[in-house]
């Protein structure tokens, strides 16, 4: 078995259950918008979903001022900002603080990995701003040697001047070094992991790559010769949350975050992130093979 020198990990549904936080956070934001504008919930939800689809992110933070139904309120940005935007943003942020939690043992395991002198890198398909906000909210800032993300979304023209000032001052930036990958590096493209191998001078077999999505994450590991570890626990999403998510979030975007229940399997699977420790120690070693290669050929 080759010596492991680095762990590269996916974020959403690998370190924390993304669905368990985004559903109540978006619902809290919509509740706030219903209360502040008196608009029907259905109109608010549908117009926000249109923006999420356009920006390919269910966490696009400026969805409210970009969506058509709020246009009449923008005639006076200051009152719109105070009475509609700020309470909605606060509702989302408060809910995120409450519901965004790591899976059990994640923080301790990340600390342990670094204590072993291993390189620890996160590779996410989330836009830079969203990935940074989650890492900061989880207080995982500083746990990684680097964070690789999709490109950030720019600030819209009509934004709270205080937010623009903070953004320009780097207030929202994570302490971790962040590298934005090109849009077409989205997984299952191996471009992101290849870049990490090159930046940290690693060879594929020296790297454990942990991710929840068999179709998106495991091909990345395979293409780079890394040891793909399937975070099988991340694929469980309750039926209730799947339905609530489909109501409130853009389906095309959700498909990127949430694996299908009936997806194929990967031989090296873990039921808790803490088992990454066992793999590094050499226990439970299984030679990872792609699921398709297991079909028997006739002798």
Q: Which is nearer to Mg ion, 85 or 220 (CB)?
A: 220
The site that binds Mg ion (CB under 5 A) totals a number of residues, namely 4
Window contacting Mg ion (CB under 5 A); options: 12-20, 78-86, 160-168, 262-270: 12-20
Structure tokens at 253: 């975007």
Q: Which is nearer to Mg ion, 6 or 11 (CB)?
A: 11
Q: Which is nearer to Mg ion, 13 or 89 (CB)?
A: 13
State residue 136 phi and psi, 5-degree precision.
Answer: -70, -45
For residue 10, state whether it binds Mg ion (rule: CB under 5 A).
yes
Among 9, 13, 32, 176, binds Mg ion (CB under 5 A): 13
Does position 124 bind Mg ion by CB under 5 A?
Answer: no
Per CB under 5 A, 89 contacts Mg ion: no
Could you tell me the smallest distance in angstroms from the CB atom of residue 79 to Mg ion?
A: 40
* Closest separation in Å from C-beta 286 to Mg ion: 21
Q: Which residues contact 217 (CB under 8 A, 6 or more apart)?
A: 10, 14, 187, 188, 209, 210, 211, 228, 230
Cis amide bond preceding 188, omega within 30: yes
CB of 256 to Mg ion, least distance (A): 9
Q: Which of residues 174-213 bind Mg ion (CB under 5 A)?
A: 212
Residue 12 is a binding residue for Mg ion (CB under 5 A): yes
- Of 8, 215, 10, 271, the residue nearest 119 (C-alpha): 8
Instruction: Please report how close the Cβ of residue 252 comes to Mg ion at its closest, in angstroms.
Output: 16
Give the phi and the psi of residue 40 in degrees, each rounded to 5.
-65, 140
Q: b/e for 48-80, b at 16 or more Cβ within 10 A?
A: bbebbbebbbbbbbbbbbbbebbeebeeeeeeb
In angstroms, give the least distance from the CB of 69 to Mg ion.
Answer: 32
Minimum distance between the CB of residue 188 and Mg ion, rounded to whole angstroms? 12
| DSSP E strand stretches across 138-196 | 146-150, 178-180
How near is the Cβ of 29 to Mg ion at its closest, in Å? 23
Instruction: Return the SS3 of 229.
Output: strand
Phi and psi at residue 38, in whole multiples of 5°? 75, 10
CB of 189 to Mg ion, least distance (A): 15
197: number of Cβ within 10 Å = 21
State the Cα–Cα distance between residues 268 and 280, nearest whole angstrom.
Answer: 13
The contact pattern for Mg ion, residues 208-247, with x = CB under 5 A and - = no contact, is ----x-----------------------------------
Q: Which residues are CB-contacts of 113 (< 8 A; sequence separation ≥ 6)?
A: 7, 120, 276, 277, 280
Q: Which is nearer to Mg ion, 23 or 85 (CB)?
A: 23
Query: Is residue 145 involved in binding Mg ion (CB under 5 A)?
Result: no
Query: CB-wise, 96 or 256, nearer to Mg ion?
Result: 256
125 binds Mg ion (CB under 5 A): no
Q: Which is nearer to Mg ion, 17 or 24 (CB)?
A: 17
Among 41, 16, 18, 176, CA closest to 109: 16
Question: Residue numbers of the site for Mg ion (CB under 5 A)?
Answer: 10, 12-13, 212
């Amino acid at each position: 078995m080759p010596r492991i020198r680095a762990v590269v990990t996916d974020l959403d549904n690998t370190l924390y259950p993304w669905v368990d936080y985004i559903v109540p956070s978006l619902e809290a934001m919509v509740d706030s918008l219903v209360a502040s504008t008196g608009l029907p919930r259905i109109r608010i939800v549908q117009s926000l979903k249109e923006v999420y689809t356009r920006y390919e992110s269910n966490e696009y933070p400026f969805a409210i001022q970009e969506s058509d139904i709020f246009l009449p309120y923008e005639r006076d940005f200051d009152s719109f900002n105070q009475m509609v935007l700020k309470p909605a943003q606060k509702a989302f942020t408060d809910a995120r603080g409450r519901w965004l939690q790591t899976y059990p043992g994640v923080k301790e395991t990340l600390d342990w990995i670094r204590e072993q002198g291993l390189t620890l890198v996160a590779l996410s398909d989330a836009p830079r701003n969203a990935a940074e906000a989650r890492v900061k909210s989880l207080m995982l800032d500083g746990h990684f040697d680097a964070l690789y993300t999709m490109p950030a979304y720019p600030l819209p023209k009509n934004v709270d001047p205080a937010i623009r000032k903070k953004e320009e001052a780097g207030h929202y930036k994570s302490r971790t070094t962040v590298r934005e990958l090109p849009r077409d590096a989205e997984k299952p493209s191996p471009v992101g992991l290849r870049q990490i191998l090159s930046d940290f001078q690693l060879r594929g077999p020296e790297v454990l790559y942990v991710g929840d999505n068999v179709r998106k994450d495991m091909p990345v590991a395979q293409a780079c010769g890394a040891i793909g570890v399937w975070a099988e626990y991340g694929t469980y999403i309750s039926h209730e949350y799947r339905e609530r998510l489909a109501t409130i979030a853009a389906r095309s975007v959700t498909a990127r975050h949430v694996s299908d229940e009936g997806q194929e399997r990967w031989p090296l699977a873990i039921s808790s992130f803490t088992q990454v420790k066992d793999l590094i120690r050499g226990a439970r070693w299984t030679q990872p093979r792609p699921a398709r290669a297991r079909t028997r050929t006739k002798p």
